[in-house]
Amino acid sequence: MALAMMDTHSRYGLVSRALHWGMALLFVWQFSSAAARVFFEDTALESFLWGTHGQLGVVLLVLVVLRAVWALANASRRPPSVSVMAKLGHLALYGLMIAVPTIALIRQYGSGRALDVLGINLMPGFEGEEIAWMTDLGGLLHGELGWALLALTVGHVVMAFLHRKLTNHDVLKRMV
Ligand code: HEM
Ligand code: HEM
């Protein structure tokens, strides 16, 4: 039982799979809210989805930190990468999953606005001038890197199915 929790060379364990698929679902929601902001401006759909964007983004950041710690703890027994490209791709996914919400939080802090997540006050906010480098950084990079993460994720899903179809590596089996 304890063993099923951990990864093995042939399969990701329960914890890794729960984090992967749970977060995949939450990312679908997160990108829906970003898309609603662009394509359904000033509609009920936007106010419904967009209202969750910051809070869910923070939840995803907490989850990805836990997931990275778990990945490191299981590094020696995880299924081996099928290629260097796969390894780099997964690393890039981690990098963006951490950078995108972190940059948003830096911008939020610099804006001086308060931030509550699930009823917890994370930032009290402040009076006075914005901290320009913080708001500029987010304005420049948050949305752009967010869309880059979506593009990389689409590539990731396509590659997972291609590996299954075209090579002997049925990588899907070890994550399902
Ligand atoms: C993994 C987590 C996150 C992802 C994938 C993500 C993704 C995105 C994307 C793709 C956009 C662009 C929408 C557009 O083009 O208009 C966006 C915008 C925005 N996000 Fe996030 N976001 C995340 C976390 C957060 C967090 C934690 C906050 C706030 C604390 C936040 C606040 C905003 C704001 C205010 C905007 C509108 C301004 C802008 O486009 O930069 N996001 N997000
Ligand atoms: C339908 C959606 C998805 C499918 C079919 C899928 C499929 C897979 C498969 C088969 C693996 C194992 C690859 C291997 O062992 O070499 C994997 C690993 C991984 N996937 Fe996905 N994936 C999906 C969504 C996502 C999303 C939304 C993200 C994050 C934005 C993501 C990030 C990762 C990462 C970082 C790994 C490396 C293992 C880990 O640390 O969890 N995946 N995925």
Cβ-contact 7, 78 below 8 angstroms:
yes
Per-residue pLDDT at 2 exceeds 60: no
Residue nearest to atom 5 of ligand 1 (CA): 146
Terminal-residue alpha carbon distance, the chain: 18
Strands 115-117 and 120-123: antiparallel
112 contacts: CB under 8 Å, gap ≥ 6: 125, 126, 127, 128, 129, 130, 131
Let me know how long the chain is: 176
Tally Cβ neighbours within 10 Å of residue 48.
12
- The CA dihedral of 89, 91, 92, 98, to the nearest 10 degrees, is 150
Cβ-contact 79, 9 below 8 angstroms:
yes
What is residue 123's three-state secondary structure?
A: strand
Distance (Å, whole) CA 68 – CA 21: 15
pLDDT digits (tens, 9 = 90+) for 27-80: 999 999 999 999 999 999 999 999 999 999 999 999 999 999 999 999 999 999
Check: pTM over 0.85? Answer yes or no. yes
- Comparing CA positions, the residue from 139, 156, 41 lying closest to residue 92 is 156
pLDDT at 26: 98
pLDDT digits (tens, 9 = 90+) for 128-171: 999 999 999 999 999 999 999 999 999 999 999 998 888 777 89
Residue 49 CB less than 6 A away from ligand 1: no
Distances (CA, A) of 76 to 6, 70, 151: 11, 11, 29
158 exposure class (CB count in 10 Å sphere: 0-12, 13-18, 19+): exposed
What is residue 30's three-state secondary structure?
A: helix
Where does the chain show beta strands of DSSP type E?
Answer: 115-117, 120-123
Pocket of ligand 2 (CB under 6 A): 16, 20, 24, 27, 71, 79, 81-82, 86, 90, 93-94, 97, 153, 156-157, 160, 171-172, 174-175
pLDDT digits (tens, 9 = 90+) for 80-90: 999 999 999 99
